[in-house]
Amino acid sequence: MDFLKTYDTRGAAEAARPLELRDQLTGEVITADGKPCIVLVKGASSRSAQAELRRDEIARAKAAKDAGGEPDARTAEDMHQATCQAAARFIVGFQNIQTMQDGKARDLTLDDVQAFLDLNFISMPHLMRDKKTEGWTKPSFAQQVLDRAQDDADFLSKSTTP
């Protein structure tokens, strides 16, 4: 057994996993032509995601220092934007999701990530939920992406299956 390969959950987290999008209000899977609308999401523990998080944190710390330590007033819109920014780093593609451009349908690409994530606003009940809470808490698309990225169970099973 190649131990370093078998237990490399961080390497496994680089591989995208499908997330079936759910309607924020109802929790029903969103479909197009009978197929689920899917966002391809890599894991939060992946080395590439952690490198991006580190760069963002360094930039945030530098901006705070440059601002002279002024109080950080944050609104719900600020939290929404931060959630969208965080979710964007985990998206690697889309399946069965289109938009209209010049009267023709086209598949979403990585250039559409920000517009996609800003389609619906963050859910405060989802933010404030107890992680053990059962039931639909109306997460936005960005929150759904983050939840999927942080679910390490798939990566653990993939990495430990010889």
Where do the structural domains in the chain lie, given as residue ranges? 3-159
Looking at residue 100, its pLDDT comes to 94
Mean of pLDDT values over 1-7: 85
Mean of pLDDT values over 95-111: 96
Tokens encoding 13:
């987290």
pTM of the predicted model as reported, rounded to 2 decimal places: 0.82
Looking at residue 59, its pLDDT comes to 80
pLDDT confidence bin for 80, thresholds 50/70/90: very high
DSSP string, 97-160: -EEEETTEEEE--GGGHHHHHTTSPPPHHHHH--TT--S-----HHHHHHHHHH-THHHHHHHT
- C-beta contacts of 48-57 below 8 A and 24+ residues apart: 48/14, 49/13, 49/89, 49/90, 49/149, 52/89, 53/89, 56/85
Q: Answer whether residue 109 shows pLDDT above 70.
A: yes
Looking at residue 28, its pLDDT comes to 97
When the pLDDT of each residue in the chain is averaged and rounded to a whole number, the result is: 88
Looking at residue 112, its pLDDT comes to 98
Q: Which residue has the higher pLDDT, 61 or 97?
A: 97
pLDDT confidence bin for 46, thresholds 50/70/90: confident
Taking a C-beta distance cutoff of 8 angstroms, is the pair 108, 97 a contact?
Answer: yes
